[in-house]
Chain A
Amino acid sequence: MMQHSNALGNPFSSLLAQVGPIQQLIFGENASSAAGRSSDGLFMFILWLSVFFFVVLMGLSVYFCIVYRRRPGVTAQRTATHNTALELTWSVVPLLILVVIFFWGFDGFAKSRIAPGEAEQLILTAQKWEWTLQYPNGVTSTERELRGSRTQPIFYVPENKPIQLRMISSDVIHSFWVPDFRIKRDVFPNRYTSFWFQPEPLDLSDSRVKIAGEGTADQYPYLDHMIMCAEYCGDLHSDMLGVLRVVPESVYIKWLASQAFDPEGKMPWEIGQYLYVAKGCVACHTTDGTSGTGPTWTKVWGQKHLFADGSSVDQVDENYIRESILDPAAKVVAGFPNQMTSYQGQVTEEDINNMIAYMKHLAGVDTAPADESSEEGGS
């Protein structure tokens, strides 16, 4: 059995805070936040209440069906066809119970909506089918791990500190759900919504806590929470996942520093490689030759491309790529859906240049480190 803080500040929840095997069966894992435990407590309260009503009502029905089954010579008996006292009771009692459930639910809801003032502010961007988290120092995570059918972004967060996400979508509506916290919130294209949470202190007795770099000097514990998109958003909706990785604060700070990308002295293609992940192109394009939602980037540069409308280009050049990024619908590659949204305003001309360089690099055509785009033969 896992440990529990009982200081939930809620008279109902503390009553039921003990986690039994049934609760574990239902939720799989214990909630990893105070708000989550409060909502699980309410759920269990409703569950036992429901079990009670269900057993009473179904028990009576089955009992009646057996005792009063039709037998020759035995008729139905005359009984009252209504009974005001009884009917009032069974209207008022549920009403009172519902009032309790309502206020309990409201209590947990209000807590999950109002973030403490000192919360760390991060910006979460949703797009088809990728979450991007921007940290206060401007970096985004480039770390990915295989989850389900493809690699997913890993977002580090410090333990035991309130964190607030300001969320926005760049295309359709998505919904940010962390099942372990028992909270989700929709992410809209036209306004910010917010989501706050406070990861619990890492507890080594929790079977989910793993150790990174075991045996080495800088080993540290971490706990992963899955992120899922819960609002249907198209083809790869079910691959729009992510991982919140709770780590000790010292590790978090080090990690943040390691994620900062310093373009100083980097080749343009290296910057392009960074942008490929940071701008979320990785959600649809691969760099290993297989098709994702979009065509792989190893076969973009210099190739002959057919389009859905029957036209074609003989050799992909910089202009074509630039157009593909800023106005993807203009030429849709044959065999692919018109799923890419325009990156107009989200990438600079310089970004585009660097990504072109990366595509050339993938095609085995490298550009010189200088910023002019004269090409050298494959090096």
Chain B
Amino acid sequence: MATIDTHTSATVEHDHHDEGSYLKPKGSMLITLIDWLSTIDHKKIGVMYLFAVFFMFFLGGVAALAVRIELLEPIRQAADGTITGSNLASLFGLKDYSVAQSGNLYNRFMTLHGAIMVFMFIVPGIPASLGNFFLPLMIGAKDVAFPRLNLLSWYIYLFGSMFGVIAIILGGVDTGWTFYTPYSTTTDADHLNVVLMVLAAFILGFSSIFTGLNFVVTVHKLRAPGMGWFDMPLFVWAIYSTAIIQVLATPVIGITLLLLVFERTFNVGIFDPAMGGDPVLFQHFFWFYSHPVVYVMILPAMGIISETLTIYSRKKIFGYHAIAFSSLAIAAISFLVWGHHLFTSEGTLTATIFSALTFLVAIPTAVKVFNWVATLYKGSIVLNTPMLYTMMFLFTFLIGGLTGLPLGALSTDLHLHDSYYVVAHFHYTMFGGMVVAFLAGIHHWWPKMFGKEYSQLGSKIGFFLVFIGFNVTFFTQFFLGTQGMPRRYASYLSEFQPLHQISTIGSFVLAMGFFVHLFVFIQSLAVGKKAKPNYCGGLTLEWETSSPPIEHNFHHEPMLRHGPYEFADVVPPQCEPGEYPMPDPVENNDH
């Protein structure tokens, strides 16, 4: 690949930087608002998604705290009308709760937390916000392939989310986010509400499909001249693999959820044992979608990590091809492992096959981690907030991955399945994976998106609170699980209380960390220093435009002249050669 400095053009454009910022108001408040709400600019849609998923994360987080508060005491607190239960109940206008219904209240909050976090935050989170914003920029496109579809999917997302939240809160859906039959088809909670919630998930599925479709076509058709498949940044690879899974798997859950609706409204009896149906069939359908979706959640996160890790250590990623192919391998194998959610229900042969397949998916995942660590070797590492989160990702994701092994193995899973061990495990992979990488990505790209720097000190304080809070909250839950605490329990035997209390304390530290971050971001928007166009010395195309990018992304049609991670050979665009000095050209090199 070319190794000359190619960025003289960037300096020529220097004067135009602020003029065309996509953030520039179009007129009065109202006009600007209308402009935003009717925009087909992928950057604005990305930002709108960002705020929407933040809000959902906040809602889901409040529900999680409610759950943790309830679990401070072994016996339901809502029952004797003390702290949480009754307060929360009256908060939502659910008065007159009898003893039994207070269990119900816990179950609703648990459902609220799970459904919001999965359907409205984790699944759309990274692709819809950061993906929308940076995928076109990184491949040098002016926009996604179908900008109007993009806006439509935002509205569908918004509509589906509001629909879902209202259905759960007002209707009191208490099925958990998994909707297992026959509980979900027979539970009373006023027949319509489960149907509404399921419909909401169905609607959200469309938003996923549209976004996915958009990204697949964009990547195929709109890459900058000179950009071959293996010149794409790994973030783009990750979003691309994710989009493929979304397009292929989401229709399955769509159909499954529709069947559930039919079952409830027309009594079809596909899953109803009383009518010759099979409730386990639902679980197969459900996990056929929901397992690949686990990778929809984690692949974009891995993409972000591949970016931040290289930029902040100024190293070419180790094993680019291995990482890109492992994304695809994970995407492919993920379709074959759904049955490992059913070890305790399935026949012996089925369980055995799925256990073997599950272990297969562990290999590409392990390969990625090895590659990341190897990338750090002999780098020039700066531990700013995005890089701290990147290291935290390695830490938590490694724990999450390794603790998955006893769940994939048959005999140990019989004990750990549906216990707190599973809760801890998937929070380490989902939160420790997706949320932490999301935080790394946001801190990495925030000045690029909004043109403002943020307080390093403040965000580092936030980081330490999140790191400590997260581990205190969830590490304890591994022990709860191995010692016999089932998940989704509103009350429990008193011997589990100390661990539950520690976990709850951790969750509050965690929440504090998020508030610090929120404060830092608000402060940045209000009084942040203006960010430089390429403040971190990145080589991908988004660093060739200004911060924030101009409305049409690039001042001139971008041309790819070097690979995304050639830190040793290229002066980063819009940077002085002295800012990111390059290593001496040494002896033998094999690239």
Contacts and interface: CB of A to CB of B under 8 A. Distances in A.
Is the pairing of A and B real? Answer: yes
A252 B403 CA distance: 40
Contact of B98 (A27, A68, A82, A336): A336
Interface stretch (A53-61, A157-165, A204-212): A53-61
B194 to A, nearest CB: 12
Contact of B414 (A73, A79, A182): A182
Contact of A39 (B322, B355, B415, B590): B415
Contacts of B352: 106, 109
Contact of B410 (A109, A173, A229): A109
Nearest to A25: B479
Contacts of B321: 82
A236 B366 CA distance: 40
Nearest to A110: B348
Given A75-B581, A101-B405, A109-B410, A64 B376 contact: yes
A74 interface: yes
Contacts of B486: 177, 228-230, 238
A68 B585 CA distance: 19
A305 to B, nearest CB: 15
B403 A50 contact: yes
Nearest to B362: A98
A101 B406 CA distance: 9
A203 interface: no
Contacts of B32: none
A80 B567 contact: no
Interface string B481-493: 0111011111111
Interface in A98-133: 98-99, 101-102, 104-113
B317 A36 contact: no
A39 B279 contact: no
A189 interface: yes
A186 to B, nearest CB: 4
Interface in B335-388: 343-345, 348, 351-352, 355-356, 359, 362-363, 366-367, 369-370, 373-374, 376-383
B571 to A, nearest CB: 12
Contact of A94 (B181, B189, B279, B366): B366
B414 A112 contact: yes
Nearest to B587: A78
Contact of A337 (B101, B382, B406, B585): B101
Nearest to B581: A75
Given A175-B344, A186-B345, A94 B363 contact: yes
A148 B491 contact: yes
B96, B103, B104, B581: most-surrounded residue (chain A CB, <10 A): B103
Nearest to A94: B366
A183 B376 CA distance: 43
Contact of B279 (A26, A95, A188, A235): A188
Given A110-B348, A147-B493, A104 B379 contact: no
A106 B98 contact: no
B377 A79 contact: yes
B99 A292 contact: yes
Given A76-B378, A82-B322, A148 B398 contact: no
Interface string B77-89: 0010000000000
A50, A112, A193: most-surrounded residue (chain B CB, <10 A): A50
B542 interface: no
B414 A28 contact: no
Nearest to A336: B98
25 contacts: A28-B484, A39-B411, A50-B403, A57-B373, A58-B394, A58-B395, A69-B381, A70-B380, A75-B581, A76-B314, A109-B414, A112-B411, A149-B79, A172-B182, A173-B180, A177-B419, A183-B414, A184-B415, A185-B344, A185-B414, A229-B486, A232-B488, A235-B103, A238-B103, A284-B100
